[in-house]
């Protein structure tokens, strides 16, 4: 593809993965948007009293507004008609008092509303974040980050807006409509009935709008989630885009998705505009009809002049409820589809959970660190073949075992199974004789420290990143962990331990990020230490220093180390050779060099999966 050719996306639909489309379809089939919106009441329960006060204040304000036209009728038909100026003062004061009361009630409603609906949004966001943390890593692998982000931000905001405005005004507008029509009938029965009946077409208009807007609302929210994913990926991978000269392609991809969002938003705007124009037309046409028929009623003596003025004033009060119904329905549909999207996450059950009796366990002593892999099998969901096939391996307390094998042999997967970042498909993993599935997750994961080849750091200071798994660690402990990881570069940072390292630690080099992540793993001195090729980004000299320091650190821990270079293998007491998901040999480094040709190839890099020239030099040194 030429360097300046933008990537084209289909214009008619959002580009979602097949898996995500399946999730959306399953969610839509299992739960209607209205049912999902109804479920959000559980987060409103703490604010029921405030909502009742909001509703009472809104109805009170509407009632005050409705009474004012009746006072106008009394003024016209009384003091003005009979020339009694003295009676104008109390009626005028009463009208003024009602206006002040209406304003005060509206102010109180808005004040209470701010606390209640923002509390709803915060509670839902906290619950959603906590639930995302409970979900297994595979869930996050399947879902686009932008889709999760849009649900946690824009979707919850849509629910909050409807809870604060839509629900209250839907009730008050219905009450106002019924009350006003009843008063109109009382003023003139046939003209009041006619006025009420003329508004019936609004129901048909609203029904048609609701059905079409629901589809566009869901489509828009899904497309915005995809757009957020593109933006997040471009921001995280900006160095790669620039290095490969793919800025135009990325811009084209973003532009095409943004065009989809724009197209759907324009469709929504046109539908809303047509709907609201129709709602505006109905009440205005009714007012014109009332003026004509009301004048005839006054001429026949069926209605007083004050009654006609009050009738028109009351009829004008029906305009806002009708016009507001358009906004309420649009807001309600957006909130309903947003709730459906949010509950697609809430309804996803965590695949990895605490055992049923976890809460009753009283013993939480530090584990010895004895690990046993007993015929462990693992298959990724939807995978054609298992990644691990009957792995059996024993690791004694304090022993360090290196896992060696070609790419795809299952080394990293085996490490992920220990802290239950993934769940075994068959067999079991025992920690001190207890199946890890029978241990509370917090106990298991506090006993296991991990450092991965591709380290994840957070937009925080060095101190916060290192102590992330042990928040109570003092400065000396943090410095000791950094020293063990040979992260002496921290002292040269502008603010030392308190230097913020940017999102994903991008202010640091790859080797520096690995060393900070390694310090985080060893800070707690865990009983079991899992190292997934943690030195791959280090130069030979730095790796040598880290290797020497790690020997002291791992002396008190059981360690599993994924290794690709002989220098890393030398950390281990024993080596386990994996091939195609099976442990084919175990022994010391020298024993495997002497007996396993496949191992010799891996250590020399001859099969393309090993360390390359530097590794060959390490291998020569190891043989010496």
Q: Which of 24-33, 298-307, 553-562 has the lowest mean pLDDT?
A: 24-33
- The domain boundary, picked from 330, 346, 362, lies at 346
296 and 384 belong to one structural domain: no
Average pLDDT over residues 90-100: 85
CATH of the domain at 616: 3.40.50.300
Three-state secondary-structure class, residue 418: coil
312 and 402 belong to one structural domain: no
For the entire predicted model, the pTM comes to: 0.73
> How many domains does the chain fold into?
2
336 and 447 belong to one structural domain: no
Q: For a pLDDT cut of 90, what percent of the chain falls above it? A: 18
242, part of any domain: yes
432, part of any domain: yes
- Average pLDDT of the chain is 81
125 and 48 belong to one structural domain: yes
CA atoms within 13 A on the CB side of 160: 20
Q: Give the residue numbers spanning the domain of 435.
A: 371-455+531-623
400 and 544 belong to one structural domain: yes
Give Cα separations from 241 to 8, 245, 251 (angstroms). 18, 6, 10
pLDDT, one tens digit per residue, over 243-259 is: 777 778 888 888 888 89
Tell me the C-alpha distance between 587 and 1, whole Å: 50
Is 516 in contact with 485 (CB distance < 8 Å)? yes
Relative orientation angle of helices 48-75 and 167-187, to the nearest 10 degrees: 30
pLDDT, one tens digit per residue, over 474-485 is: 889 899 888 888
182 and 225 belong to one structural domain: yes
277, part of any domain: yes
342 and 408 belong to one structural domain: no
415 and 269 belong to one structural domain: no
What are residue 390's phi and psi, to 5 degrees? Answer: 70, 45
Is 30 in contact with 103 (CB distance < 8 Å)? no
Instruction: Using pLDDT thresholds of 50, 70 and 90, give the confidence band for residue 557.
Output: confident
492, part of any domain: no
pLDDT at 340 over 90: yes
556, part of any domain: yes
496, part of any domain: no
What pLDDT score does 360 carry?
A: 46
395 and 268 belong to one structural domain: no
429 and 316 belong to one structural domain: no
- The domain boundary, picked from 312, 346, 380, lies at 346
Tell me the C-alpha distance between 215 and 592, whole Å: 63
511, part of any domain: no
Quote the DSSP letter at residue 353: -
CATH of the domain at 53: 1.20.1560.10
Three-state secondary-structure class, residue 389: strand
243 and 145 belong to one structural domain: yes
pLDDT, one tens digit per residue, over 364-392 is: 567 888 999 999 999 988 778 899 999 99
Cβ atoms < 10 Å from Cβ of 51: 21
What are residue 29's phi and psi, to 5 degrees? Answer: -75, -35
What pLDDT score does 452 carry?
A: 79
pLDDT, one tens digit per residue, over 499-535 is: 988 777 778 888 888 888 888 888 878 889 898 877 7
């Amino acid at each position: 593809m030429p360097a300046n050719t933008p990537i084209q996306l289909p214009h008619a639909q959002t580009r979602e993965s097949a898996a995500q489309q399946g999730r959306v379809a399953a969610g839509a089939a299992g739960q209607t948007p209205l049912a999902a919106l109804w479920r959000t009441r559980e987060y409103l329960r703490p604010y029921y009293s405030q909502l009742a006060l909001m509703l009472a204040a809104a109805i009170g304000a509407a009632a005050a507004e409705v009474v004012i036209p009746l006072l106008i009728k009394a003024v016209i038909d009384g003091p003005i008609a009979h020339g009694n100026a003295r009676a104008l003062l109390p009626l005028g004061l009463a009208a003024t008092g009602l206006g002040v009361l209406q304003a005060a009630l509206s102010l109180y409603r808005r004040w209470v509303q701010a606390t209640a609906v923002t509390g709803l949004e915060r509670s839902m966001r906290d619950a959603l974040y906590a639930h995302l943390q409970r979900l297994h890593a595979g869930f996050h692998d399947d879902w686009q980050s932008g889709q999760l982000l849009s649900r946690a931000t824009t979707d919850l905001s849509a629910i909050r807006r409807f809870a604060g405005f839509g629900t209250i005004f839907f009730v008050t507008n219905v009450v106002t409509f019924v009350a006003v029509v009843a008063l109109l009938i009382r003023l003139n029965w046939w003209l009041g009935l006619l006025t009420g009946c003329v508004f019936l077409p609004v129901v048909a208009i609203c029904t048609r709008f609701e059905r079409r807007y629901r589809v566009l609302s869901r489509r828009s929210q899904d497309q915005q989630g995809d757009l957020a994913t593109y933006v997040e990926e471009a921001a995280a991978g900006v160095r790669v885009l620039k290095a490969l000269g793919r800025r135009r392609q990325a811009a084209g991809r973003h532009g095409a998705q943004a065009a989809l969002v724009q197209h759907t938003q324009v469709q929504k705007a046109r539908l809303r505009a047509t709907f609201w124009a129709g709602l505006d037309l109905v009440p205005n046409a009714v007012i014109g009809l009332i003026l004509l028929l009301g004048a005839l009623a006054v001429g026949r003596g069926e209605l007083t002049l004050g009654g006609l003025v009050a009738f028109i004033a009351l009829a004008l009060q029906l305009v806002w409820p009708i016009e507001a119904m358009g906004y309420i329905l649009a807001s309600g549909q957006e909130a309903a589809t947003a709730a459906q999207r949010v509950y697609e996450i809430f309804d996803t059950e965590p695949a990895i959970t605490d055992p049923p009796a976890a809460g009753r366990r009283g013993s939480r002593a530090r584990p010895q660190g004895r690990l046993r892999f007993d015929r462990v099998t693992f298959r990724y969901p939807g995978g054609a073949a298992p990644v691990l096939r009957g792995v059996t391996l024993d690791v004694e307390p304090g022993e360090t075992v290196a896992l060696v094998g070609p790419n795809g042999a299952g080394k990293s997967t085996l490490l992920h199974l220990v802290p239950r970042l993934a769940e075994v498909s068959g067999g079991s993993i025992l920690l001190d004789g207890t199946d890890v599935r029978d241990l509370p997750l917090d106990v298991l994961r506090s006993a296991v420290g991990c450092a991965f080849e591709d380290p994840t750091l957070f937009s925080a200071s060095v101190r916060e990143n290192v102590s992330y798994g042990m928040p109570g660690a003092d400065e000396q402990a943090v410095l000791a962990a950094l020293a063990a990881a040979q992260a002496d570069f921290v002292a040269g940072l502008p603010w030392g331990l308190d230097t913020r390292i940017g999102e994903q630690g991008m202010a640091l080099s790859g080797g520096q990020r690995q060393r900070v992540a390694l310090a985080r793993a060893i800070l707690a001195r865990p009983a079991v230490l899992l190292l997934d090729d943690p030195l791959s980004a280090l130069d030979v000299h730095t790796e040598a220093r880290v290797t020497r320091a790690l020997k002291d650190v791992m002396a008190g821990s059981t360690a599993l180390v994924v290794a690709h270079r002989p220098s890393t293998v030398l950390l281990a007491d024993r080596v386990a050779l994996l091939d195609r998901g099976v442990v084919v040999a175990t022994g010391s480094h020298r024993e495997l060099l002497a007996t396993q040709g496949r191992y010799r190839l891996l250590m020399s890099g001859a099969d393309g999966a090993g360390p390359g020239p530097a590794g060959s030099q390490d291998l020569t040194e190891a043989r010496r």
